Amino acid sequence: MDAIVLGGGLMGTASAYFLASRGVRVTLIERARIGAGATVASFGNIRRSGRHLSQLPLAARSLAIWNEAEVLLGRDVEFRPTGHLRLIFDADSLEDMRTYVQAANAQGLILDELDTSELHARFPGIGPDAIAASFSPRDGSANPRLIGPAFADAAVRAGASVVEEAPVLDIRTTAAGFELETAKGNFQAALLLNCAGAWGRSIAAHFGEDVPLETWGPQMAVTEPLPHRIAPVVGVWSQAHGAYLRQVERGNVIFGGAVDRVRVEAEPGYAKPDPARLPAQVAAVIKLVPALADVAVIRQWSGCEGYVADALPVMGPSSTTPGLFHAFGFCGHGFQLGPGVGSAMAELIATGQCETPLDEFAITRFAA
């Protein structure tokens, strides 16, 4: 069995690794450098709380792999299960959180509820207006710059070929499967996996499958390095798009959320943050950790991410073309899912079935 994986972000590199580990002959083709798409721009949140319930089995599969990543990949990708704290500032959000917790419990996600005194005793320095929180002790974060190259190198060790700086210019179906024309020559395989991220829509469209996907960029920023004081990832339960932050071991505090995403043209796909939105973002962050009021923000960035109309990814076989599979459009929350996506897609492609339910992500949901 041989396969081409198109796109060398987290989904493509993880899929290549798990396919090669199952004995599939894999060629991974990336138009730029491995991991340089949405993956490198990620905040790095390994968060299950608040996810659409249909994603929780996949998120659980992924978390198990994050826990083994250092052994599996032969290097530290800075996965740290520091816990994920989500603050609550009003009674409605507390109600929302409790409703979610009940439903999520049934899917195996256990969230601890912290009342006001427990929250402030356990996490001194958290915003005084927070009345409660949920805490997910096994979640955390990892380094978005390390994970793509780590999976790609592990895939090569497992027998895959990785071709960088090779934009796929055309795809033809042949009697034997697929032929991809790239800037570095033509490649053939019986199977093709579309992991082109925000650009996955155009690959699917090439095969007559229309997905309502738009390209947007979440806006991120980072502070100067500070003494290390914040262990968990911190976010908010809110109907609005709340702020979130984490402090990396080198001391910088990375933050995002609380402001609208920036519009990104899919071509060339360069996402530019809007400095005018920074003050509102900083104000939201200070509400979570007031001690951040006087620190310098040293950099802003964004990344080109694919957002599907129903906020769910596209995963599974093509509805038009035998041998074609899709895994794209992760709507700003694919970082946590990435290793699980790779492992699930490899299982599906190699065996024809997947123990993790993927039906809700089928491309056929847009056929009507």
Ligand X SMILES: Cc1cc2nc3c(=O)[nH]c(=O)nc-3n(C[C@H](O)[C@H](O)[C@H](O)COP(=O)(O)OP(=O)(O)OC[C@H]3O[C@@H](n4cnc5c(N)ncnc54)[C@H](O)[C@@H]3O)c2cc1C
Instruction: Give me the residues that bind ligand X (CB under 6 A), please.
Output: 6-12, 29-32, 36-39, 41-45, 167-168, 195-199, 217-218, 220, 302-303, 305, 328, 330, 332-336
313/227 Cα distance (integer angstroms) = 38
Residue with smaller CB distance to ligand X, 8 or 57: 8
Alpha carbon 188 to chain centroid, angstroms = 29
Closest approach of ligand X to the CB of residue 47, in Å: 6
Provide the H-helix boundaries in the chain.
Answer: 10-21, 38-41, 56-73, 91-105, 116-122, 144-157, 200-206, 278-288, 334-351
Please state, in angstroms and as integers, the Cα–Cα distance from residue 44 to each residue in 77, 120, 122, 140, 208, following that order: 11, 25, 24, 9, 34
Q: Are 285 and 292 in contact (CB under 8 A)?
A: yes
* Nearest-CB residue for ligand X: 9
Give the residue with the Cβ less far from ligand X, 100 or 255: 255
Return the number of the residue (129 or 167) whose C-beta is nearest ligand X: 167
Nearer Cβ to ligand X (73/94): 73
**Least distance CB 95 / ligand X (angstroms):** 25
Nearer to ligand X, 12 or 316 (CB): 12
Q: Which two tokens mark 176? A: 């034997």
Q: Which is nearer to ligand X, 177 or 306 (CB)?
A: 306
Closer residue to ligand X, CB minimum distance, 196 or 292: 196
* Nearest in space to 268 (alpha carbons), one of 197, 213, 326, 199: 199
Query: Mind giving me the DSSP string for 341-355?
Result: HHHHHHHHHHHS--S
Least CB distance to ligand X at residue 182 (A): 7
Q: Compute φ and ψ for 23, nearest 5 degrees.
A: 90, 10
CB of 49 to ligand X, least distance (A): 12
Least spacing, CB of residue 169 vs ligand X, in Å: 7
- As measured in angstroms, the least distance from the Cβ of 209 to ligand X is 16
Confirm if 64 and 56 have CB atoms less than 8 A apart. no
CB of 243 to ligand X, least distance (A): 12
